[in-house]
Amino acid sequence: MAIATTLFDLTGRTILITGASRGIGFAMAKACAEHGARVVLNGRDPATLAEKVDALAAAGHAAEGEAFDVTDEAATIAALDRIVARHGALHGAIANAGVQHRVPVLDFPTADFRRVVETNLTACFVLGREAAKRMAATGGGAIINTVSMLGPIARPTVPAYIAAKEGLRALTRAMAVELGAKGIRVNAIAPGYVATEMNTALIENEPFNAWVIGRTPMGRWAQPEELGGAAVFLMSPAGAFVSGHILSVDGAMSVAV
């Protein structure tokens, strides 16, 4: 007989997810909403964001949008203040927004390196710090950073992405150790190769596609929806004593030679 449990219940929790107009971010937002959370989706383009918010609302979920560029610190702070003003508290934040830039390292422009680090690392720091301030004021919360399988291991032509994502792993641990006393947990999710828009060029590149399929013990790309459960777990009572953790969702690719 199934036992009713609140272990993965997010009812009553307000959770902001950045980069939620598509891909992993939208999948995480949808999964959290399906487990009872009020989700606040972030994206840069208001129209695209509204389509996704409307889709979740049409399915009966509590969903709203906050369009801003995560590299704009003032806009990030203003959005967090609006969320707390509307709902009284922020219980969760998923710093998921990220960019990719693929150029061989010897040709990699400094400006592009700075841009990738700004979005994939610094913006996550700002969101985490500002979210944590607000969470601390209302009893605590949970932060998740979307890192990558890449970081501890690397592949050619994505040096900025790898550096930023590895730095974000370290930032996750740094914030976890400082914020535990305030009732705030900080974890990361490390996706492997996921079939998202950011990776379309890779999927359509037959040799690369074959390499991913061959190097992944589960023999395929992940679907974005397969990242949702990890976010629910780390946001929910089931993860109540999990902090400083990097949760891999990569089909065992990172542990295979």
Element (H, E) at 181: none
Catalytic residue flag (residue 193): no
Per CB under 6 A, the list member of 26, 193, 221, 233 interacting with ligand GCO is: 193
Q: Which part of the chain contacts ligand GCO (CB under 6 A), choosing from 39-47, 58-66, 174-182, 197-205?
A: 197-205
The SS3 call for residue 152 is coil
> Of 10 and 123, which has the nearer Cβ to ligand GCO?
123
Q: Which part of the chain contacts ligand GCO (CB under 6 A), choosing from 10-18, 51-59, 189-197, 225-233?
A: 189-197
Those residues with Cβ within 8 angstroms of residue 91's Cβ, 6 or more apart along the chain or in another chain: 12, 13, 14, 15, 37, 135, 141, 142
Of 113, 161, 221, 233, catalytic? 161
| Residues from 46 through 85 that contact ligand GCO (CB under 6 A) | none
The SS3 call for residue 186 is strand
Per CB under 6 A, the list member of 149, 168, 176, 179 interacting with ligand GCO is: 149
- Binding string, 100-139, against ligand GCO, x = CB under 6 A? x-x-------------------------------------
* Residue matched to tokens 């107009």: 21
Task: State how far the Cα of 165 lies from the Cα of 167, in Å rounded to an integer.
Answer: 5
| Residues from 152 through 181 that contact ligand GCO (CB under 6 A) | 155, 158, 161
Binding status of residue 148 toward ligand GCO by CB under 6 A: yes
Nearest Cα to 95, choosing from 234, 215, 198, 249?
Answer: 234
Neighbours of 105 (CB within 10 A): 12
Q: Which part of the chain contacts ligand GCO (CB under 6 A), choosing from 31-39, 42-50, 193-201, 233-241?
A: 193-201
> Of 70 and 189, which has the nearer Cβ to ligand GCO?
189
Using left for φ > 0, alpha for ψ between -120 and 50, and beta otherwise, residue 3 falls in beta
Please give the biggest Cα pair distance in the chain.
61
Task: State how far the Cα of 136 lies from the Cα of 181, in Å rounded to an integer.
Answer: 9
| Residues from 214 through 243 that contact ligand GCO (CB under 6 A) | none
CB of 101 to ligand GCO, least distance (A): 9
- Binding string, 11-40, against ligand GCO, x = CB under 6 A? ------------------------------
Binding status of residue 191 toward ligand GCO by CB under 6 A: yes
Those residues with Cβ within 8 angstroms of residue 109's Cβ, 6 or more apart along the chain or in another chain: 103
**Phi, psi at residue 107, to the nearest 5°?**
-110, 5
What residues line the site for ligand GCO (CB under 6 A)? 100, 102, 148-150, 155, 158, 161, 191-193, 198-199, 202
- The set of catalytic residues is 161
